[in-house]
């Protein structure tokens, strides 16, 4: 027996509002929401990086200098001066670390919900690609410009015509429909696909997958697409990856070791190799 699953959810959570899985919803709600989340995350990260650089610059310029500056530009420090200078640097470092940590916490609070929802949207997009906008499902919804009642009538009549025809004749009908390429030909091809699949293996003139590989279904192209021209669902997944990379880079810049490096005003920050946490840890 084949398992039946509940309706697709938002990665395990109820949808915020009732949804209809169609192209208008995909174009007007699902994809734009993911794009907005990514823009908010990257904006918050850019703001955080700017503020951190400002903290770093101010800290470096506010450390007082102790000792006697001589004519050749060197600074002579007594033991007491050295102790004072070290104390001044220590205070500046602690202040810088605290300031950067506060910025990190503020950015965390801003992006946490969006990061979680971006992952949920990405997981949901994968499920929708498998169960709603797969090639067979989109082909079966092709209407050829007809209303629902007319599509049902046309399919019922066409199915009766092709039922039981010789394998070579079914192959000819499939090839003609592929060459036709009209919206109505997709309705015919869905009937041909069903007829072919219902036959015994030795009576099938072609593999259904071979037929699917040769046709373009506009709804499938717009929703899923391919690597060369990704559809909206693929773009939802890509946006999550892009936001995750940006967040990982930011975490590398404000990790514990990097904060200490910033505070001490050392060389350029090296990004740590880190990955984006998932679900509740995100």
- pLDDT classification of 79: cutoffs 50, 70, 90: confident
Q: Which of 212, 208, 178 is nearest to 196 (CA)?
A: 208
Domain ranges of the chain: 37-133+233-281, 136-223
The reported pTM is: 0.78
pLDDT-based confidence at residue 278 (cuts at 50, 70, 90):
very low
Q: How confident is the model at residue 90 (pLDDT cuts 50, 70, 90)?
A: low
Q: What b-and-e string marks burial along 237-269, b requiring 16 or more CB atoms within 10 Å of the CB?
A: bebbeebbebbbebbbbbbeebbebbbeeeeeb
Task: Give yes or no for a contact between 259 and 101, defined as CB atoms under 8 angstroms apart.
Answer: yes
pLDDT of 160:
97
pLDDT in tens, 118-172: 999 999 999 999 999 999 999 999 999 999 999 999 999 999 999 999 999 999 9
CA distances from 23 to 27, 38, 227 (A): 6, 21, 20
Mean pLDDT of 194-222: 96
Give Cα 125 distance to the centre of its chain: 9
Listed as own residue / partner, the contacts of 196-202 with beta carbons closer than 8 Å and 24 or more positions apart are 196/170, 199/167
pLDDT the model gives residue 265: 45
Instruction: Determine the pLDDT at residue 175.
Output: 98
Give the integer Cα–Cα distance in Å for 185 and 46: 50
**Minimum mean pLDDT among 3-17, 57-71, 173-187: which range?**
57-71
Going by pLDDT thresholds of 50, 70 and 90, the confidence category of residue 59 is low
């Amino acid at each position: 027996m084949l398992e039946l699953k509940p309706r697709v959810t938002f990665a395990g959570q109820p949808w915020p509002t009732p949804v209809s899985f169609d192209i208008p919803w995909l174009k007007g709600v699902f994809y734009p929401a993911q794009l907005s989340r990514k823009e908010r995350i990257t904006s918050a990260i850019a703001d955080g990086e700017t503020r951190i650089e400002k903290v770093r610059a101010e800290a470096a310029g506010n450390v007082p200098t102790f000792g006697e500056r001589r004519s050749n530009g060197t600074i002579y420090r007594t033991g007491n001066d050295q102790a004072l200078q070290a104390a001044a640097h220590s205070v500046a470092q602690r202040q810088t670390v605290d300031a950067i940590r506060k910025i990190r916490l503020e950015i965390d609070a801003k992006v946490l919900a969006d990061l979680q929802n971006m992952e949920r949207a990405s997981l949901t997009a994968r499920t929708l690609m498998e169960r709603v906008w797969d090639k067979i499902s989109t082909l079966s919804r092709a209407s050829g410009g007809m209303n629902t009642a007319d599509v049902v009538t046309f399919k019922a009549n066409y199915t009766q015509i092709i039922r039981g025809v010789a394998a070579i004749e079914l192959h000819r009908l499939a090839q003609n429909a592929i060459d036709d390429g009209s919206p109505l030909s997709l309705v015919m091809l869905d009937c041909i696909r069903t007829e072919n699949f219902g036959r015994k293996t030795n009576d099938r003139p072609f593999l259904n997958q071979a037929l699917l590989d040769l046709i373009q279904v506009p709804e499938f192209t717009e929703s899923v697409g391919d690597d060369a021209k990704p559809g909206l669902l693929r773009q939802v997944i890509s946006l999550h990856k892009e936001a995750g990379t940006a967040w990982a880079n930011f975490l590398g810049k404000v990790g514990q070791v990097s904060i200490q490096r910033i505070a001490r005003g050392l060389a350029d920050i090296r990004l740590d190799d880190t990955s984006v946490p998932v679900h509740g840890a995100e």
